[in-house]
Amino acid sequence: MPIHATAVVDPQADIHSSAQIASYVVIDGPVTVGAGCVIEPFTRLTGSVEVGPDCRIHSHVAIGDIPQDRRFAGENTRCVIGAGSILREGATVHRATGEGNATIIGERCFLMTNAHVGHNCVLGNDVTLISGSLLGGHVRIGDKAVVSGNTAVHQFTRIGFMSMVAGVSAVVQDVPPFAMTDHRGRVVGLNLVGLKRAGYTAEQREDIKTAFKLLYRSGIASAQIVEVLRSECRTDAVAPLIEFLAETSSRGICAASRGGR
């Protein structure tokens, strides 16, 4: 199926010949849709939107609408959806605020029903947003992270590589790589199942455990923790955590739950 007769496609749009555009889709503006994409009925893509190849965008998805930011003044911004991503029914992705900026969804991401990605968010590859998860503006999420259902993430918060955020929770501070959080957004342990599935060795997992004990139980000042981790940890498996902590944080690092393990 090429472009359905009831779809409305702007002359500025660049639709690959192999893409499928279903009934009542609206494509408004300089939208690019890559090879092998499927855009299902009643979806709207508007503004400067780039959809990479082999994406599947289900019904009633809205991509590229103006940001929910009172300061937005019509500047030229973009919205980018990486190759192989899936957006399920009702998902929304807003374009960025600030001249030349972009909201970016990485490759092979999975946005489930009614997930929302606010302006200027940057998602890495293989990120999963479970149904009803809400990302405020400027949120950054690392590769392979999971945000569970009906969870709200405060603007400017970072969620690290391969972390797993609990459902029905509020996340107001940065979640380190490999961490699992509870409904209060506090660290309760490591994503050990994810680490094993990803092929991390027992030595690497133990090194990450050591790093988290130093971070949360040693009492070492935050200004010194990066250098301590560099000297104490034996494998490069801890590198994502060190890099995460070395970056400037707008929100601070989330605390550990008293019952954490």
Residue-wise pLDDT tens digits, 125-145? 999 999 999 999 999 999 999
For residue 164, the Cα-to-chain-centroid distance in whole angstroms is 12
Place of tokens 């070492």: 220
Instruction: List phi, psi (to 5°) of 135.
Output: -110, 120
Question: Quick check: helix, strand or coil at residue 187?
Answer: strand
Q: Is the pLDDT of residue 79 over 70?
A: yes
Q: How many residues does this entry show for the chain?
A: 261
Residue 13, φ and ψ in degrees, nearest 5: -70, 150
**For the chain, what percentages of helix, strand and coil (3-state, to nearest 5) are there?**
15, 30, 55
Identify the CATH number of the domain defined by range 8-138.
Answer: 2.160.10.10
Burial of 33 (0-12, 13-18, 19+ CB in 10 A): buried
User: How many CA atoms lie within 13 Å of 51's alpha carbon, on the beta-carbon side?
Assistant: 33
The answer to which of 48-52, 73-77, 199-203, 215-219 has the lowest mean pLDDT is 215-219
- Mean pLDDT (the chain) is 97
> Does the pLDDT at position 86 exceed 60?
yes
Domain boundaries, the chain: 8-138, 195-246
Q: Is the per-residue pLDDT at 223 higher than 90?
A: no
DSSP state of 240: H
The CA distances from residue 250 to 14, 40, 96, 174, 260, in Å, are: 38, 38, 19, 9, 24
Site of tokens 């998902």 = 91
Q: Which tokens in the block code for residue 131? A: 């149904």
Cα separations in angstroms, 191 against 54, 112, 118, 161, 165? 29, 21, 26, 10, 10
Q: What is the pLDDT of residue 25?
A: 99
Predicted confidence (pLDDT) per residue in 152-192, tens digit: 999 999 999 999 999 999 999 999 999 999 999 999 999 99
Local confidence band at 222 (pLDDT 50, 70, 90 cut-offs): confident
Task: Give the CATH number of domain 195-246.
Answer: 1.20.1180.10
Q: What is the pLDDT of residue 238?
A: 97
Check residue 259 and give its pLDDT. Answer: 61
Q: Are strands 187-190 and 179-181 parallel, antiparallel or unpaired?
A: antiparallel
Compute the distance between CA of residue 89 and CA of residue 98 in angstroms, rounded to an integer.
Answer: 28
pLDDT surpasses 80 at 258:
no
Centroid of chain to Cα 144: 9
Q: Which among 219, 216, 214 is positioned nearest to 231, based on CA atoms?
A: 214
Which residue carries 């609206």 as its tokens?
26
User: For residue 79, which of 114, 52, 59, 113 has the smallest C-alpha distance?
Assistant: 52
Low-confidence winner among 62-66, 90-94, 257-261 (lowest mean pLDDT): 257-261
Do residues 183 and 201 make contact, with C-beta atoms less than 8 angstroms apart? no
d(CA 85, CA 188): 30
Does residue 81 carry a pLDDT above 80? yes
- pLDDT tier, 201 (very low <50, low <70, confident <90, very high otherwise): very high
Average pLDDT for 241-254: 96
Q: What is the pLDDT of residues 5-59, one digit of tens each?
A: 999 999 999 999 999 999 999 999 999 999 999 999 999 999 999 999 999 999 9
Percentage of the chain surpassing pLDDT 90? 94
pTM for this prediction: 0.96
